[in-house]
Structure formats: C-alpha cells, structure tokens
Structure 1
C-alpha cells in the first residue's frame, strides 16, 4: 500500500471533482483519474480497483436522480446487471493481473481509442426509437461482453453500454442512461470485490475520490457556463493525449 498523505487525498479529491464535472459537461472524465493514481505511485491493479469506489458513488447518485424523476425499470435493469456482473467477474480476473508496463500500454491504447470515438462520434449517434425494449436476448448477451470490459478496465464502458441499449435494444437515451448507471453500479461492485480479494485497495484515497466524483457531478449538472464546454473538451482531449504518450513512451 502507498502511504496515505494529505496531499494525495487532496489531489484525488480534486481529480474526482474534475472528473465528475467533465463527465457531465463533456464525458469520459474517468480517464483522468487512473493516470493520476499511477503518477502518484499506485500500482496498476490497485489504481484500477480503487477507481471503482468513485464509479460506484457516482452511479448511486445517478440512480437516485433518475428515480426521483420517475424513471425506473428495475426488472430489466436487474437482468441486464446480472449479465454485466457475470462478465465483470471474469474481466476483473484478467484486469487484476495486468501490471507494470503492460498496464500502462493497455491503458494508453484504450485512452487513444476512446479519444477517437469521442472526437468522431464513431458508433455513438443516437437512434430515434419508440422506447420499447427489443432484441432482449441479443442485448443481454452483449451486456456480458460489456461487463467483461467494465470488469477489466471500466474506463469508457458507457461508450459500449449506450449503443447496446439505444441502437440494439431500441431504448430512448433517457432510459438507456437509466439502465446504464444501474448496470455499471452492479458490475462495479462485482469487480471491486474481485480486486479487493487480490490486491490492497486504497480505501481512504478511494473515499476521497468518491466524494470528489459526487461533488463534481453535482457542479457539472448545475453549471450554467455552457459556453465553456468546447474549451473544456479541447483541454481535456489534449491532456489525455499527453497522458497516453507518457504511458506509451516514458516510464
């Protein structure tokens, strides 16, 4: 375990606030957190596992927000989550063993791929639907795959879940996001359990991260500075590109 120091708690809290804010305004904010933990000296599997604490906190808050606004379908959410959790268990078994230079390179490649998706919108264009779920068997099977990825690395898993829910299963974006956060919460619990059983999770730092995620999400949701979104995205993309280059070529 790394030594828990005040500056590390503060840094992860700030990173969590920034990530939660970016998640609302631009998307993909969780890509910021894991590299920060790596640069603090946290081993790859520990950073990968500890990040799940913040992800769970953010999704719990989101589920509550949807429920308060009258959006819930716990039967479908539960069956999708069961499939996602099944996949996540096996994905986490792989992720927990990925360490050192291979973790850095895998993370960098994933970050580059996600940046391309975010910049081009590849496969992310919403489909107009009647909101009624269809292709249930295929959708549940694809959630096993999405869960595997979520258990393995988690970063950017929403970019996999949303097309399944919207384009394959025919759900509108509101309900797609409603199911997405529920499934992500469940498979994050599963993967956190796997990581916690095999590596020493940094619980104190994870709780600071979770608090930051929650506050950042609230600030982003209530932010009126919409004109700054384009600049935020550009700075965010440049920062992630720099992190990816650092992980690939500089140790």
Structure 2
C-alpha cells in the first residue's frame, strides 16, 4: 500500500505542476490511479482524483489572483456556471456512455493543436475582445460548456479552458491560465460534492495526493508567473500533443 501511495503521490506532484501552468494534469494522474488500483470503481478513482487536485488548483488560483490583473468579479458568475455544468455532466454520465465522445476527442484536440501552431502570435498579447456584461456572458457560455464536459468526461478540461479564453476572449496564455484555474476550482468542487455523496472518494489516498499536488502547483505557478505567456504557450502545446496521443490510443488502439 505504501508503494502504491508513493506512485500516485509522485503522479499527483507532476499533475499539479502541469495543471498550474497550462491545464491537463489529468493526463498524468488519472492513468496513474487506474493502473495502480485496477480493481477500484472508476467513479471512486475519479472522485479521489478531484479531491486531491482541487487543493493544487486552489493554491494556484490564489497565487494568480494576487499577481494577474483580471476582472475577477465578472468572472465569478462564470466559475459558478462551470461548477453547475460539471455537476450536470457528472449526473448525465450516470445515465449515458461517453464512448462517442471518447473517439471524437483526439480529433478535436488535434484541431486545437494545429490551430495553435499555425497562429504564431496566438495568446502572446493580452487584448480582451469584450468588456463588462458582454465579457461575463461569453465567459459564462464557455464555462458552462467546458464544465459540463469536465463532469461528463474530463481529459483536457484545463487545456480547453485555456484555448477558448485565448481564442474567444482574446486573453494571452498567462491570463487564460489564471482564469482557467478559477473555473477548474469550481468544476472540481461541484464534482466532488456528487462523488462524495455517493461514497466515491478515498479520502486517505486523496489527502496524500493533495500534499504533493500543492507542491507541484507551487512550482508550476511560480514558473508561469516568472516566464509569462510564452512559457505557458510552450507547455500548452506539449500537453495538448501528449493528450492527442493518449486519447487516440485509448479510443482506437487500447
């Protein structure tokens, strides 16, 4: 059991780092949990995953709020919508299989990857396209849709948040990553409510992973704030590329 805990704790450390910079930490932690505890119920592993990841996401959110200038008050309603979308998606998952989405996901991620590579200046400068109520409404629409996806399926949620905030709202990668942390904090919180209410959280495992997740988040946030949008963009491209390979393998080969 100690070896198992050590494995998932290390995975949680790396996941916290990746999540803090560009999203996509589930690429590391979710497979680690499923391979380490192959006989556990998937819902229990997902619940434990989110119960650990929320701490690193929370830490990163606090650090970004202190250092990155964003209209946080206008974005809070969007964060609540992200949480409601996540809760709804998790509820729908109890009734509908995500197999169709599993096969479509690599293609969607590939489109995001190629678009980001083609647009060399995408997300390098912070030029918001909306202000006031319009910004709140557009951010809310993105949050609700991606939040639902997070609860229903999940892989790449942080990366989708980052990409859409860059492409639709006109944020640079650093500001988009900061905003994504706020959204992810609420999606995790609402999903944990559902999983915990059904007994699908291993709190002792989540507690160990939470400590290392925060440590990874601390390192990732510091590097992102120090090196700015260009660094976040680079990590984002690497993470999305890895997500394409992982999701394609799961959908068509595994």
Question: By the TM > 0.5 criterion, same fold?
Answer: yes
- Per the normalisation by structure 2, the TM-score is 0.74
- Structure 1 residues 53 and 61 mapped into 2: Cα distance closer, same or farther (>3 Å)? same
Match of 2:231 in 1: none
Q: Which residue of 2 aligns with 1:46?
A: 44
Report what 1:165 is aligned to: 165
| Stretch of structure 1 that moved more, 32-41 or 194-203 | 194-203
Would the alpha carbon gap of residues 96 and 202 (structure 1) be closer, same or farther in structure 2, given more than 3 Å must change? farther
Deviation at 1:221, TM superposition (A): 4.7
SS in 2 for 1:121: helix
The residue aligned with 1:245 is: 249
Match of 1:176 in 2: 176
Contact persistence 1:54–1:210 (CA under 8 A): yes
Sort the Cα spacing of 1:93 and 1:216 in 2 relative to 1 into closer, same or farther, 3 A.
same
Secondary structure, counterpart of 1:140 in structure 2: helix
Q: Deviations over 1:106-149 (max 9, x none)?
A: 66864675466446637983274377456343432232111101
More moved, 187-196 vs 46-55: 46-55
Structure-2 residue corresponding to 1:151: 151
Q: Shift of the alpha carbon at 1:239?
A: 9.4
1:32 aligned to 2:4? no
SS of aligned partner of 2:128:
coil
Relative to structure 1, the CA distance from residue 118 to residue 83 in structure 2 (aligned partners, 3 Å threshold; closer, same or farther) is same
CA separation in 2, counterparts of 1:166 and 1:222? 21
Q: Is the 8 A contact 1:88 1:187 kept in 2?
A: yes
Gap regions ≥5 residues in structure 1: 225-229
Other-structure match for 1:91: 89
Which structure 2 segments of 5+ residues have no match?
227-233
RMSD, matched Cα: 4.0
Q: Report deviation, 1:151.
A: 1.6
Partner of 1:195: 195
Aligned residue runs from structure 1 range 55-94, under 5 A: 55-69=53-67, 71=69, 73-94=71-92
When residues 129 and 144 of structure 1 are mapped into structure 2, their CA distance, relative to the original with a 3 A threshold, is closer
Distance 2:142 2:212 in 1: 31
State TM-score, norm by structure 1.
0.74
Note if contact 1:133-1:170 (Cα within 8 Å) is conserved in structure 2.
no
For residues 48 and 122 of structure 1, do their structure 2 counterparts lie closer, same or farther at Cα, with a shift above 3 Å needed? farther
Aligned length: 242
Cα 1:85–1:123 change in 2 (3 A) is farther
CA distance in 1 between counterparts of 2:99 and 2:8 reads 19
The 8 Å contact of residues 23 and 162 in structure 2, kept in 1 or not, is answered as no
Q: Identify the structure with the greater helix proportion.
A: 2
Q: 2:5 aligns with which of 2, 5, 9?
A: 9
Change (3 A) 1:243 1:155: closer
Contact 2:75-2:139 at 8 Å conserved across structures: no
